[in-house]
Structure 1
Amino acid sequence: MKNQRLMGKTIVITGASGGLGEQIAKQCAQNGAHLFLLARNEERLEQVAISIRELYKVRCTAIKLDVTQYDQIPPVFRRIYEEAGHIDVLVNNSGYGIFAEAENIRLADVEGMFAVNVVGLIACTKEVIPSMCQRKSGQIINIASQAGKLATPKSSVYSASKHAVLGFTNSLRMEMSRYGVQVMAVNPGPIRTTFFDKADPEGSYLESLGRFMLDTEKVAENIVASMLSNRREINLPRWMDFAGTLHTLMPRVVERLGRKAFFKK
C-alpha cells in the first residue's frame, strides 16, 4: 500500500528482527523511507537490513539494542540523530507475553514483560520527544494490544502491561498535541508470528484460535498506511474491538457470555 508521506522520511523501529517489526520495515522501505532497525538479535537484524537495502535501495541501518538495558538507549538514539539529523517516526514494537494464571506466573516473567513492554517503550519514547516537539512534527506509534482493552484469563500480566501502554499513549497524545506531534496506538488481536513460541509453548492457544489469527503483512499494511496521519488508533480485528467496546459498556454480561471462549488459551 502506497503512502507518499513516507518518501525520504527517517523511521526507527524497535523489535525489527522479525514478525510485525520486520514487515513494517519492509513496507516503509517500499514507500521510500530510510530506516534504523533496533533489536537484540544482531545477526537476524543485519540480515533484514541487508535484504531491505538490496530490494528497495534505501538507507537501512541495523543497531543492536536490548530495550531493557536502559543505559544503552540514549547512546543508540544519539547515533541515529548524528547520522540522520532527525527522526520522523518512532515505532515502539518490542514486546512479548507469557500466558499463565496469576497464581502460577513467575515474578521474573512479570518483571520481564513490564521491562520490555512498558519501561523500554517509555525510555525509547523519551529520546524522541524533545526533537519532535522542537521541530513540531513527527509521530510516535506504540504497538499495544486488544489485550490492553479486554483482559482474559491467563493473560493477566500481559494485559496489565498493555493497559499501561495504552494509558501512557493516551496521555502522551494529549501532551504532544500542543506541538503538532502525532501519537497513535495499535491494538491488534493475535497475530501469526513467533510471539506464541514463548507465550504459548504448549500450542493450546494456537490450536483453539488459530483460524482467527491476523496476517502479519495485513497488520503492517494498516500501520504503514496510517503513518504521519492524524489517526488515533488502529484496532484489529473489528469483531474483537467490538467485544472490547461492549465489555466497557456491559462488563458483567461479556464476561459471563464469553467465559468459555476466554479460557481457550
Structure 2
Amino acid sequence: MPNKVDWKDIYNTEYVNAPECWKTCGGYCCKNFYGEHFNILDKSGVSLPLLEKEYEYYKSIGGITNITTPAKKRTFHLSNGKEFSIYLLSCQCGGLCNPHGHRPLICRIYPYFPVVDAFGMIVDFEYSALMDLFYRDPDNNHNCTLVREQSIRIKRELTVSLKPLLRDPEVVFVFRCLSELVNRLKIKMDGFIDNLDEKQKKKFIAKYEWMILSGKPWKDKEFSHRITEIYDEVKLAFGNEDFL
C-alpha cells in the first residue's frame, strides 16, 4: 500500500527555522498584499489551501478558533474519472492565529512550496503566495526577509524537512498539480505587477481576480489531461497502486 502521511506528525513539525521573523517584515506572510485594490476577492483575508486529508485532520483538532468563515471546496477532475479536492480557508488573523500550532501546512513552509518529480524528489521551489508570482525580480524585491536574505538556507532546510511528507504519493501528486496550476496562471496573466502604473495595476488585478474566481486557467480539457498524466506518472513511480 502507498505510504500515507500522518498529519499529526506534520502539524508537530516546524519546517522553517525562523523564530519571530515576522518582526523583520511586519508580518508580510499573513497579509493580503495588494488587497486594497481588490474589488471582488477578500481585501483582508489570506487564502490558505489545504489538501483534503489535511483538512479532515485540521477539523478533527478543532481548527483555528479565529477563522470562522467556512472553507470553500474546489474539486479538480481528471480525464480518467478520478478527482481531488482542496479546501480554501479565508484567514484574517494577521499572524495571530489561535492556536498557532493548528496553522496549515502552507503556512509552515512559507515562503515556498516544493516543485517535485514523480518520485517526490525536490527539483526546485516556487513561491507559495500567488501574488508573489508576479514580481519581476522577487528575490530582490520580495517583502519577506527570508526570501531576500535567507533563501538558500530556507530551501536547504525544506529539502530535508519535507522528505517524510513527500513519501505519500497523494501529496506528491497534489504538489505536482499545484506546479501545473501555477504555471498556467502565470501564462494566462502574462506579465508582472511591479512595473505597472496605478491604472495598469488596477487592470492587472481585475484580470487576476477574474482568473482566480472563474478558475479559467484550469477548466479546459488540456489541464484535465495533464493532471491525469501526472497521476499516472506518480502512480507508476510509487509502485503502480491507486492512491486517489
Name the structure, 1 or 2, with higher relative contact order (CA <8 Å, separation 6+).
2
Instruction: Give the alignment's TM-score, normalised by structure 1.
Output: 0.28
Instruction: Give the TM-score of the pair, scaled to structure 2.
Output: 0.29
